[in-house]
Amino acid sequence: MRLESAINLKRQLLEDLITPIAAAARFPITAASARDLREVTGGVPAGTLFGVAARSFQTLPKVQRSLAVGIARGKDKEYRLAIRVQRQALLNSDMVQSMVKKAKGEADVRLIGRVDKRTRRRPPRRAGITRAKKTRRAPVASRARTLAAGVPWFELQQRPLLIGVSIGHVDVTAGTLGAFVSHDGQVCILSNNHVLANEDRAAVGDAIVQPGTLDGGSIAADKVAEFLTAVALDATGANLVDAALATLDSGIGHDTARLREIAASTDGVLAGASGAEIDEGATVFKIGRTTGATKGRVTAFNLDNVIVNYDMGNLRFDDQVEIEGVGDVAFSDGGDSGSLIVNEEMAAIALLFAGTDFGGSNGLGLTYANPLHRVLDDLNATLLF
In DSSP notation, 44-104 reads: --HHHHTT--S--GGGS-SS---EEEEEEE-STT-EEEEEEE-SGGGTTSHHHHHHHHHTT
User: Is the Cβ–Cβ distance between 341 and 349 less than 8 Å?
Assistant: yes
Q: Residue 310's closest CA among 192, 215, 206, 205?
A: 192
- What pLDDT sits at residue 285? 98
Give the type of residue at 39. E
Q: Distance of alpha carbon 79 from its chain centroid, rounded?
A: 24
- What pLDDT sits at residue 279? 85
The 10 Å CB-count burial string (b at 16+, else e) for 325-334 is bbeebbbbbb
Neighbour count for residue 151 (Cβ, 10 Å)? 15
Contacts of 144 by beta carbon, 8 Å cutoff, 6+ apart: none
Half-sphere exposure of 69 (CA within 13 A, CB side): 22
Q: Residues 323, 105, 50, CA angle at the centre, nearest 5°?
A: 60
For the chain, 385 residues long, give each residue's pLDDT as a single digit of tens: 999 999 999 999 999 888 877 666 554 455 555 555 555 555 555 555 556 556 555 555 678 889 999 999 888 889 999 999 999 989 999 889 999 999 999 999 999 999 999 875 555 444 443 333 333 334 343 344 344 468 999 999 999 999 999 999 999 999 999 999 999 999 999 999 999 999 999 999 999 999 999 999 999 999 999 999 999 999 989 999 999 999 999 999 999 999 999 999 999 999 999 988 898 899 999 999 999 999 999 999 999 999 999 999 999 999 999 999 999 999 999 999 999 999 999 999 999 999 999 899 999 999 999 999 999 999 999 999 9
Q: Residues 115, 118, 124, CA angle at the centre, nearest 5°?
A: 110
- What pLDDT sits at residue 131? 34
306-310 and 313-317 strand pairing = antiparallel
User: Is the Cβ–Cβ distance between 163 and 156 less than 8 Å?
Assistant: no
Plot region of 173 (φ>0 → left; ψ -120 to 50 → alpha; else → beta): alpha
Q: What is the DSSP letter of 364?
A: S
Omega into 123 within 30° of 0, i.e. cis? no
Would you call 218 exposed, middle or buried from its count of C-beta atoms within 10 A (0-12, 13-18, 19+)?
middle
Would you call 138 exposed, middle or buried from its count of C-beta atoms within 10 A (0-12, 13-18, 19+)?
middle
- What pLDDT sits at residue 287? 98
Q: What is the DSSP letter of 265?
A: T
Task: Determine phi and psi for 221, rounding to 5 degrees.
Answer: -105, -20
- What pLDDT sits at residue 129? 34
Q: How far is CA 39 from CA 15, 29, 36, 45, in A?
A: 16, 15, 5, 9
According to the CATH classification, is domain 258-383 in 3.30.470.20?
Answer: no
332 vs 350: CA distance, rounded Å? 14
The 10 Å CB-count burial string (b at 16+, else e) for 189-200 is bbbbbbbbbbbe
Cα four-point dihedral sign 67, 336, 193, 350 = negative
Would you call 216 exposed, middle or buried from its count of C-beta atoms within 10 A (0-12, 13-18, 19+)?
buried
Task: Determine phi and psi for 79, rounding to 5 degrees.
Answer: -125, 160
- What pLDDT sits at residue 26? 56
The DSSP-derived string for 113-167 is --EEES--BPPPPPTT--PPPPPPPPPHHHHHHHHHTT--GGGS--SSB-TT-EE
Domain boundaries, the chain: 3-111, 166-248, 258-383
- What pLDDT sits at residue 49? 56
